[in-house]
Amino acid sequence: MIKSKVIVCAIVVTFNRKKLLKNCLDSLINQSYPLTAIYILDNASNDKTEQLLFDSKYIDVLPPTRLSVAWETKKKMIINGSEIVIHYVRMHKNTGGAGGFYEGVKRAYKKGYEWIWLMDDDVEPDNQCLEKLLENSETKKVLVPLRCKFGEILCTNELPAIKYDLKSIFKVGTKCRTPISSKYRYLDELPLTMEVEDMAFEGPIIHRKVIEKVGFPMKEFFIYGDDTEYSFRIRKMGEKIYLVKEAKIYRKIDAQPTHKISWKDYYIFRNYLWLYRNYGEGFGVRTIRPLYFFVRRIFGRIVRLDIKGIKYYLYSFLDSINLSKNRFKP
Tell me the pLDDT of the chain (330 aa) as tens digits.
676 789 999 999 999 999 999 999 999 999 999 999 999 999 999 999 999 999 999 999 999 999 999 999 999 999 989 999 999 999 999 999 999 999 999 999 999 999 999 999 999 999 999 999 999 999 999 999 988 775 444 433 344 433 344 444 333 333 333 333 345 555 667 788 988 888 899 999 999 999 999 999 999 999 999 999 999 999 999 999 999 989 999 988 766 556 678 899 999 999 989 998 888 877 877 888 888 888 988 888 898 888 988 999 999 999 999 898 888 887
DSSP assigned state of 44: -
201 neighbors 97 (Cβ within 8 angstroms): yes
Q: What are phi and psi of 166, to 5 degrees?
A: -120, 15
d(CA 81, CA 79): 5
Q: Within its chain, how far is the Cα of 226 from the centroid?
A: 7
**Backbone φ, ψ for residue 268 (5° rounding):** -60, -50
Beta partners for residue 102, in sequence order: none
In this predicted structure, what is the pLDDT of residue 162? 35
Entry pTM: 0.89
Q: Which helix (H) or strand (E) holds 315?
A: helix 307-319
Question: What's 161's DSSP letter?
Answer: P
| CATH number of the domain located at residue range(s) 8-251 in this protein | 3.90.550.10
Q: Rounded CA gap, 222 and 323, in Å? A: 9
Helix/strand/coil for 78: strand
The pLDDT of residue 297 is 87
Distances (CA, A) of 11 to 137, 164, 220: 18, 27, 19
**Calpha distance 100→91 (Å, rounded):** 8
155-164: Cβ within 8 A, 24+ apart:
156/184, 156/185, 156/186, 156/187, 156/190, 159/196, 159/243, 160/196, 160/197, 160/198, 160/199, 160/200, 160/231, 160/241, 160/243, 161/196, 161/197, 161/198, 162/194, 162/196, 162/197, 163/197, 164/197, 164/198
Helical packing angle, 263-279 and 307-319, nearest 10°:
30
User: What is the C-alpha to C-alpha distance for residues 128 and 308, in angstroms, rounded to an integer?
Assistant: 46
Domain boundaries, the chain: 8-251, 263-319
